[in-house]
Structure 1
Amino acid sequence: MARIAGVNLPTQKRVVIALRYIYGIGPSNSKEICDEVGIPAECRIHQLTDDQILKIRECIDKKIKVEGDLRRDVAMNIKRLVDLGCYRGLRHRKGLPVHGQRTHTNARTRKGKAVAIAGKKK
Structure 2
Amino acid sequence: MARIFGTEIPNEKRIEASLPYIYGVGRTTAKKILEQAGVDPDIRTGQLSEEQLVKIASVITSESILIEGDLRREKQAALKRLTSINCHRGQRHKRGLPVRGQRTKTNARTRKGKKRTMGVAK
Which TM-score tier does this pair reach, normalised by the shorter chain?
over 0.9
Structure 1 stretch displaced more, 1-10 or 111-120: 111-120
Deviations 1:2-51 (A, max 9, x none): 11111000110111111100111111100001111111121110010000
Could you list the structure 1 runs, at least 4 aligned residues long, displaced by more than 2 angstroms after superposition.
Answer: none
- Structure 1 CA distance for aligned equivalents of residues 96 and 83 of structure 2: 11
Q: What does residue 45 of structure 1 align with?
A: 45
The more displaced of 53-62 and 88-97 is 53-62
Measure the CA separation in 2 of the matches of 1:9 and 1:102.
38
Match of 2:16 in 1: 16
The letter of the residue matching 1:81 is L
Give 1:32-111 correspondences, 5 Å limit: 32-63=32-63, 64-111=65-112
CA RMSD of aligned residues (A): 1.1
Percentage of matched positions with identical amino acids: 47
CA distance in 2, matches of 1:53, 1:42: 15
CA distance in 2, matches of 1:17, 1:103: 36
Task: Tell me how many residue pairs correspond in the alignment.
Answer: 120
Runs (5+) with no aligned partner, structure 1: none
